[in-house]
C-alpha cells in the first residue's frame, strides 16, 4: 500500500488535516488552480462530497455546464439549510498521481474547500494528530 503525506494546515487553530488537490471539469478542459495545488480540508463534519468556493464552481471551472439532477442541501451551524449546486467533477491528487471522478458542490457565497464524508468514506486516510500529518493510502 502506498502512503502519501501532507502536513496539517497551520491556517487553522488548532492545525487541521488537508490533502493538496487540483479540481478539474469532467472533460478535463478546465482546472483550478492552473498552477500548483489547493488545500482540501478533511472535514468529517460535512456530510457531502467535495465543497468548493462558488467563484471556483461558477467562474474558474464553469461547472454550471455539468450540473447533476440532484437535490442537495447544506445545513449551516445556525441550523439554516441552503440548496447546493452539484456537478460531476474531478479531484486530482498530484502527489498520488490520482484523478477521482466525484461530485463537486457549492452554494451561494461559499468560500470553503472541504472533503466531506461521502468522499472521504471511499478511501483510507490516517490522521496523525500528534505529528500533524494526513496520510492518504492507495493500493
The pLDDT tens digits of the residues spanning 32-63 come to 999 999 999 999 999 999 999 999 999 999 99
For the chain, how many structural domains are there in total?
1
| Bridge pairing between strands 124-128 and 133-138 | antiparallel
CB 74 within 8 A of CB 51: yes
Q: Which three cell numbers stand for residue 39?
A: 488545500
Q: Facing residues of 83 across strands?
A: 73
Q: What share of the chain is helix, strand, coil (3-state, %, to 5)?
A: 15, 45, 40
Domain, as residue range, for 108: 2-138
Check which CATH number belongs to the domain holding 67 and give it: 2.40.70.10
For the residues 95-99, what does the mean pLDDT come to? 96
pTM (whole model) above 0.75: yes
CB burial of 38-77 (b: ≥16 within 10 Å; e: otherwise) equals bbbbbbeebebbbbbbbebbeebbebeeeeeeeebebeee
Q: What per-residue confidence (pLDDT) applies to 77?
A: 85
Binning pLDDT at 50, 70 and 90, where does residue 71 land? confident
Please check the confidence at residue 76 and state whether its pLDDT lies above 90: no
H/E stretch holding 120 reads helix 117-120
Q: Is 129 buried (19+), middle (13-18) or exposed (0-12) by CB count in 10 A? A: exposed
The pLDDT tens digits of the residues spanning 12-22 come to 999 999 999 99
Amino acid at each position: 500500500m502506498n502512503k502519501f503525506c501532507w502536513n496539517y494546515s497551520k491556517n487553522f487553530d488548532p492545525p487541521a488535516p488537508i490533502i493538496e488537490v487540483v479540481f478539474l471539469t469532467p472533460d478535463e478542459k478546465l482546472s483550478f488552480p492552473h498552477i500548483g495545488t489547493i488545500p482540501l480540508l478533511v472535514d468529517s463534519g460535512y456530510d457531502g462530497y467535495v465543497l468548493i468556493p462558488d467563484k471556483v464552481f461558477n467562474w474558474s471551472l464553469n461547472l454550471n455546464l455539468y450540473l447533476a439532477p440532484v437535490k442537495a442541501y447544506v445545513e449551516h451551524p445556525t441550523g439554516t439549510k441552503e440548496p447546493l449546486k452539484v456537478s460531476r467533477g474531478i479531484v486530482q491528487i498530484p502527489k498520488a498521481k490520482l484523478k477521482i471522478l466525484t461530485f463537486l458542490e457549492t452554494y451561494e457565497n461559499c468560500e470553503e474547500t472541504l472533503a466531506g464524508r461521502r468522499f472521504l468514506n471511499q478511501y483510507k486516510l490516517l490522521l496523525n494528530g500528534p505529528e500533524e500529518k494526513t496520510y492518504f493510502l492507495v493500493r
